[in-house]
């Protein structure tokens, strides 16, 4: 049988993205990209497991021409329209069965348009980038575009002058007659929106030496200013490992696109900045810290539903303040007071715990989410606060998380009741007073 809502996910904010009845275990993507004509040809092999008997199922896929679909090697009936690839196998797939879907597709990739602008695969002046949060993954590969995680193997062939950087470990690079094939493996469980491809005339350099492997892909002419602006990256990494626990992946790559970008973008093990974020004065170092913090909060720990987005953005914003504090900038107390004043001046008409789809990326979610953590720190004390943060990260490594889980987790570390604190900061629009931190040695 076909499960109710097979073409819809369980996400409360993006029910039209994602599909029911199965879960993906692995994506194998073989892509050929022509930069000049912006043409992408791909073969996707999706390994999935049925969580219910399936007579049909669907995947999310953008504006491509699909030429062939097979399930376990057999050609099947399919339709593709309005972003949904609907597939009807010859025989129903039994509950618990593992099956493989092979899809050949091609066309000019275009981002997914919506309330947040254009999301996903986007052309640069000379290359391409992928920024998929929250629903842009179908702009470049067929997927179950929900927040469940899978492993990935991604092969991209592009013209030889271009460097291709994909989220994951580079396992091979093979030069051909005029092109290069890059193969990356992402073994850690990863949500589709956190996979990224960057194509440009980049130089690969070390970002920091020792500890976690940190690299950068940058336009060669920006080398000098980049080295200054990102010169403390190794220190930021060390500070965050001390505060949050070990970095959750094997590598971290910073990409600087040779175009201006409105905001930096994080992917799993990667952050993408525009050339406008590199000015030789470390003007945007707080954003450098913010994107790195997302590797713990957002990427290793990924929200189970987009209404919990403060667990990504509030935590990364508080990490900015923590880095400022330890690096000689304004203290966390000063920044908390500054942003509390700013939040107090804004209309209080939605809650952080469930801001609504239109307000997912509202600055109030970021700043008030960070203030929630500051209030928790004031309530439980320094030692307990950072112990519960490190435990939160460690216990939920590579999993999805919810606000209720975090409340319960915090409650394990103190005998003080925290219900009223979380209710005031997360569940009610009115802004509570800012509590002072205990005196620090």
Per residue in 67-89, pLDDT (tens digit) is: 999 999 999 999 999 999 999 99
Per residue in 156-196, pLDDT (tens digit) is: 999 999 999 999 999 999 999 999 999 999 999 999 999 99
Instruction: Please give the Cα distance from 122 to 106 (Å, whole number).
Output: 16
Are both 140 and 231 inside the same structural domain?
no
DSSP character at residue 441? -
Q: Mapping DSSP to helix (H, G, I), strand (E, B) and coil, where does residue 374 land? A: helix
What is the number of structural domains in the chain? 3
Are both 230 and 330 inside the same structural domain?
no
DSSP string for residues in 28-66: EEEEEEETTTTEEEEEEEEEEEESS-BS-EEEE--S-EE
Cα 24 to Cα 18, 55, 105: the distances in Å are 11, 17, 19
pLDDT band at 1 (very low <50, low <70, confident <90, very high): very low
pLDDT band at 8 (very low <50, low <70, confident <90, very high): low
| C-beta contacts of 423-430 below 8 A and 24+ residues apart | 425/352, 425/368, 425/371, 425/372, 425/375, 426/310, 426/351, 426/352, 426/353, 426/372, 427/351, 427/353, 428/351, 429/348, 429/349, 429/350, 429/351, 430/348
Do 298 and 395 form a contact (C-beta atoms < 8 A)? no
pLDDT at residue number 10: 74
pLDDT at residue number 6: 63
Q: Is residue 113 part of a domain?
A: yes
pLDDT at residue number 438: 81
Q: Is residue 9 part of a domain?
A: no
Q: Is residue 309 part of a domain?
A: yes
Mean pLDDT of 373-394: 98
pLDDT band at 9 (very low <50, low <70, confident <90, very high): low
Instruction: Please give the Cα distance from 134 to 16 (Å, whole number).
Output: 12
Last residue of a domain, one of 176, 199, 222: 199
User: pLDDT above 70 covers what percent of the chain?
Assistant: 98
Are both 174 and 58 inside the same structural domain?
yes
Are both 130 and 67 inside the same structural domain?
yes
Q: Is residue 3 part of a domain?
A: no
Cα 391 to Cα 113, 206, 319, 339, 412: the distances in Å are 38, 31, 16, 27, 11
Q: Mapping DSSP to helix (H, G, I), strand (E, B) and coil, where does residue 278 land? A: coil
- Least trusted range by pLDDT, from 109-118, 183-192, 224-233, 386-395: 109-118
Q: Mapping DSSP to helix (H, G, I), strand (E, B) and coil, where does residue 4 land? A: coil
Are both 141 and 269 inside the same structural domain?
no
pLDDT of 19 over the 50 cut: yes
pLDDT of 121 over the 80 cut: yes
Are both 35 and 164 inside the same structural domain?
yes
pLDDT of 199 over the 90 cut: yes
Per residue in 224-271, pLDDT (tens digit) is: 999 999 999 999 999 999 999 999 999 999 999 999 999 999 999 999
CATH number, domain containing residue 282: 3.30.2010.30
Are both 173 and 212 inside the same structural domain?
no
Do 409 and 392 form a contact (C-beta atoms < 8 A)? yes
Do 68 and 102 form a contact (C-beta atoms < 8 A)? yes
Are both 208 and 289 inside the same structural domain?
yes
- Least trusted range by pLDDT, from 1-15, 30-44, 79-93, 386-400: 1-15
Last residue of a domain, one of 199, 229, 254: 199
Are both 52 and 187 inside the same structural domain?
yes
pLDDT at residue number 116: 87
Do 364 and 346 form a contact (C-beta atoms < 8 A)? yes
Q: Is residue 440 part of a domain?
A: no
Per residue in 344-381, pLDDT (tens digit) is: 999 988 999 999 999 999 999 999 999 999 999 999 99
Task: List the domain range (segments joined by +) for residue 139.
Answer: 22-199
Mean pLDDT of 297-321: 98
Do 222 and 275 form a contact (C-beta atoms < 8 A)? yes
Supply φ then ψ for residue 70, to 5 degrees: -135, 145
DSSP character at residue 160? T
Mean pLDDT of 51-79: 97
pLDDT of 5 over the 50 cut: no
Are both 47 and 145 inside the same structural domain?
yes
Are both 114 and 253 inside the same structural domain?
no
pLDDT at residue number 2: 44
Instruction: Please give the biggest Cα pair distance in the chain.
Output: 69
Q: Is residue 95 part of a domain?
A: yes
pLDDT of 319 over the 70 cut: yes
Mean pLDDT of the chain: 96
- Can you give the pTM of this predicted structure? 0.96
Last residue of a domain, one of 262, 295, 328: 295
User: Cα angle vertex 309, ends 61, 122, to 5°?
Assistant: 35
Are both 162 and 224 inside the same structural domain?
no
pLDDT at residue number 4: 43
């Amino acid at each position: 049988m076909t499960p109710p809502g097979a073409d819809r996910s369980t996400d409360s904010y993006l029910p039209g993205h994602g599909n029911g009845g199965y879960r993906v275990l692995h994506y194998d993507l073989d892509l050929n990209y022509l930069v000049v004509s912006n043409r992408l040809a791909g073969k996707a092999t999706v390994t999935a497991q049925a969580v219910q008997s399936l007579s049909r199922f669907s995947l999310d896929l953008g504006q491509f021409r699909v030429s062939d679909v097979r399930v376990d090697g057999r050609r099947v009936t399919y339709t593709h329209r309005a972003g949904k690839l609907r597939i009807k196998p010859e025989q129903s797939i039994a509950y618990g069965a593992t099956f493989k879907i092979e899809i050949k597709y091609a066309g000019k990739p275009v981002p997914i348009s919506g309330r947040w602008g254009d999301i996903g695969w986007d052309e640069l002046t000379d290359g391409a980038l992928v920024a998929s949060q929250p629903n842009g993954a179908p702009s470049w590969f067929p997927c179950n575009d929900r927040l469940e995680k899978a492993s990935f193997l991604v092969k991209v062939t592009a013209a030889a002058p271009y460097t291709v950087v994909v989220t994951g470990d580079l396992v091979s690079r093979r030069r051909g007659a005029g092109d290069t094939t890059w193969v990356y493996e992402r073994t850690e469980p990863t949500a589709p929106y956190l996979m990224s491809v960057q194509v440009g005339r980049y130089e690969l350099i070390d970002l920091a030496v020792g500890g976690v492997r940190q690299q950068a892909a940058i336009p060669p002419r920006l080398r000098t200013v980049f080295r200054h602006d990102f010169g403390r990256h190794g220190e930021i990494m060390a500070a965050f490992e001390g505060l949050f626990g070990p970095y959750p992946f094997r590598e971290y790559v910073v990409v600087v696109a040779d175009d201006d970008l409105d905001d930096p973008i994080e992917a799993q093990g990667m952050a993408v900045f525009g050339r406008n974020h590199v000015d030789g004065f470390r003007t945007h170092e707080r954003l450098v810290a913010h994107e790195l913090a997302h590797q713990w909060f957002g990427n290793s720990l990924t929200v189970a539903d987009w209404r919990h987005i403060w667990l990504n953005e509030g935590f990364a914003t508080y990490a900015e303040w923590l880095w400022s504090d330890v690096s000689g900038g304004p203290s966390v107390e000063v920044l908390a007071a500054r942003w509390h004043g700013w939040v107090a001046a804004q209309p209080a008409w939605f809650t952080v715990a469930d801001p609504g789809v239109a307000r997912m990326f509202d600055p109030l979610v970021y700043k008030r989410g960070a203030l929630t953590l500051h209030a928790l720190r004031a309530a439980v004390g320094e030692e307990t606060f950072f112990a519960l943060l490190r435990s939160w990260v460690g216990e939920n490594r590579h999993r999805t998380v919810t606000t209720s889980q975090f409340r319960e987790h915090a409650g394990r570390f103190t005998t003080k009741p925290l219900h009223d604190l979380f209710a005031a900061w997360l569940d009610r629009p009115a802004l509570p007073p800012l509590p002072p931190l205990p005196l620090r040695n």
